[in-house]
Amino acid sequence: MALLPILHFPDPRLHTRAKPIMVVDAGIRKLAADMAETMYAAPGIGLAATQVDVHQRLLVLDISEDKSQLQVFINPEILSRSGECEGEEGCLSVPGIYEMVKRSERVQVRALDLEGKRFEVDAEGLLAVCLQHEIDHLDGKVFVEYLSRLKLSRLKARLAKQARITV
């Protein structure tokens, strides 16, 4: 396994729309394992392939307390949504930034597992939010883009300043 470098907003590669995975093979299983290792090391509760500059529709997440329940979603699709909730989100691609985001409270998601078998989940709460956040990444969208234009431009200015200090 290997740790993968994570792209940071506003890297334009984060706006790439990921392509569906045609065959779930050893290469995809290796990518999922590397992404899981990268997510746990960060540490984070979810990671989309887009964030490691691989533009295929795969995401990993683990919302358990003891980090023992890895879930892998290949070609995830939201079949239905209901309700509304608002919560603070963060992202490994936007370190140190937490903002309120409105999401659907419940989502029904269909995906393939690591064996290429189709499954469905009825997600609510943190799992539902996490799935929507990661599927957004696969569609080229980062959560801060839900902010108002003013807030987003302030955030970009702040990140640019941070980058200057770090570099």
Q: Is 35 in the site for Ni ion (CB under 5 A)?
A: no
CB of 115 to Ni ion, least distance (A): 26
Structure tokens at 165: 């200090």
* Residue nearest Ni ion (C-beta atom): 91
Q: Which member of 65, 84, 134, 145 is catalytic?
A: 134
Q: Is 103:78 a contact under the CB 8 Å cutoff?
A: no
The SS3 call for residue 2 is: coil
Taking contact as CB under 5 A, which single stretch among the options 65-73, 87-95, 105-113, 120-128 is the one that binds Ni ion?
Answer: 87-95
The token duo for 20 is 């569906």
Residue type, 125: G
129 belongs to the binding site for Ni ion (CB under 5 A): no
* 91 near Ni ion (CB under 5 A): yes
**How far apart are CB 136 and Ni ion at their closest, in Å?**
8
Q: Is the distance from CB of 97 to CB of 119 less than 8 angstroms?
A: no
Instruction: Report the residue number, 7 or 74, with the smaller CB distance to Ni ion.
Output: 7
- Cβ–Cβ contacts within 10 Å for residue 55, how many? 15
d(CA 22, CA 28): 10
- Residue closer to Ni ion by CB (options 99, 105) is 99
CB closer to Ni ion, 24 vs 76: 76
Q: Is 115 a catalytic residue?
A: no
- Dihedrals phi, psi of 42, to nearest 5 degrees: -55, -55
CB of 72 to Ni ion, least distance (A): 16
Q: How far is the CB of 125 from Ni ion (least distance, A)?
A: 17
Residue in 6, 19, 31, 151 with CA at minimum distance from that of residue 92? 6
Q: What are the residues binding Ni ion (CB under 5 A)?
A: 91
Q: Which positions are annotated as active-site residues?
A: 134
